[in-house]
Structure 1
C-alpha cells in the first residue's frame, strides 16, 4: 500500500485528497502543524506533501529539516502567483511544487510519476552498480559515491544525474529534461530544471561556478562530460 503524509492545516484540502486517493487503496496520514510533523518517521512514507503556510513553523523550514534527515520525495504547495516560492522550495530540496488552489487531478498525476520512479528503475543498459570516472552509482539503492565519499541526493537529483551520466556528451534542453525526469509536459516553469542542475553542481563539483562534469551548452541545454 502506498503511504502519503500530508502536512497541512486546511481540512478541506485534506478531505479532498483523502477522498480522491483512498478509493485507489492509498493510505493517507495527516498532521496539521509542523510540530506534529517532526514526530513522524518519514521513511514510513512514499511521498510527503507540505503546505508552505503550515501552522507553527514556516513550511520551507520544515521541508529543509526533513531533507536533512530523509530523502523521501516531497511535494510543496505554495501560494498562487508567488513563483519565487516555488524556486525556494526546490532550492531547499523539494522534488516538485504545486500552487494553490490545488488541482487534485494534477496532484495525483505528479504523485504517480514519483511512485513510478521509485518502483521502477529505468533500464539504462547497465548493471545495478557501475562506475563513471570518479563516480560509483548504485541504481537499486539509489546511491552515489564520488571519490569514495557518499553524496546525499534527493530523488529528482539522483534521477537527473543518472540520466545525464548514462547519456554522456549528449545535450538535452530543459523542456526535454522536464518531461523525461519529472514526467509531465512543460507548463511554464523551466526553472525547475535549472534549480536542480545548480543543486547537483553544488554537490558533485569542486567548484560549482566552474563545473567539470555537468556542463552547459549555451542556447542548447545541459550535458555530462566524463572526466
Structure 2
C-alpha cells in the first residue's frame, strides 16, 4: 500500500532524506550541522541534538552520522515509517534496498503481519551512505511502557560497524583549535576525557558552554544511577 510521503512526513524529514550523501551532509561536523539547519532542523542545547515538528535528531561528528526518532501512536509511527520507505523507494536511481527479513515497506499500517512476523530493519545504500529504518510497537520498559517508535539512521558507508576508535589527541586539538560547531559536537562525544570537558565548560562560546554543562549533568546522573 502506497503512503504519500509529502502528506505524512514533515518537510524537514523529507529535506534530510534528500540531502543524505557522504560527500555533502556526512562530510564533516560543519557540513552535518549546516545540512540539518538548512533542512529545517533547530539545534538544541545538548550536543548534536536537533528537533523539528515533533521529531528528534541525535547526530555526531566523528564519524558524521545521525538518527531521527519519532514515537507515539503505533498507527502514526507505522505510517511515518511506510512514508519514509516510499520516499526512498521512489528514488530507486539513488537508493538500493536490502533486507534480511520481510520487506514491510509495502504493507498497510493495519497489516496483520506486523503482529506475526519478526520485523527487521530495512537498509538502503547509495551515494556513499547507508540508511537504516527500524520500527517497533509499544513494549514494556522497566516500570513503565516504551511507546511505539521508529529510528531512521543515516551514516557513511565507509564507517566501521563498531564506529571510529577513541582519539583523545584529536579531541584535545579540537577543544583548542576547532570551530564552534566542532567544539559543540565535541562536548557530547562518548568517552570524552574529563579535562577536555572541563575546558569546553569554560569555552568562549555560550553554545559550547551550555552543551558541555548539559553533558556534565548527564554524566552526574549516570554515575548516581
Using structure 2 for the length normalisation, give the TM-score. Answer: 0.24
Structure having the higher Rg: 2
- The answer to which structure, 1 or 2, has the higher relative contact order (CA under 8 A, 6+ apart) is 2
Using structure 1 for the length normalisation, give the TM-score. Answer: 0.24
